[in-house]
Homo-oligomer: A and B are copies of this chain.
Amino acid sequence: MINNNQLEALVQRIERLEDEKAVLTVDISEVYQEAKGVGFDPKILRKVIAIRKQDQAKVKEEAAVLDLYLQALGMTPLEVAIAKEAEQ
């Protein structure tokens, strides 16, 4: 026995979110189009974005390791937050 209303609600929520996602995909394409219009090669631009993403991933990774070290040193989350603040 399944709850139809519950199922339908879930399906609709997912579809709604996927629609929004599809809109963003189009938005992104449009920015690439615009970039092309002002002379930037979209293909290269995509590579630039990918590289930056990699970098950010590394930064987050390092931040996570830093957290681990700090926590291993007995610092509480609050202290960790303060320490992060101090980094900048």
| A positions within 8 Å CB-CB of B | 2-3, 6-7, 10-11, 13-15, 17-18, 20-21, 24-25, 27-28, 31-32, 34-35, 38-41, 43-45, 47-55, 57-58, 61-62, 64-65, 68-69, 72
Contact = CB atoms under 8 A, between A and B. Distances in A.
Dominant secondary structure of chain A at its interface with chain B: helix
4 cross-chain pairs, A with B, having the tightest CB-CB distances, nearest first: A47-B65, A21-B24, A44-B68, A54-B58
A47 B24 contact: no
B40 A51 contact: no
Contacts of A47: 61, 64-65, 68
Contacts of A3: 38
Given A43-B68, A44-B65, A28 B18 contact: yes
A18 B48 CA distance: 14
A39 B68 CA distance: 15
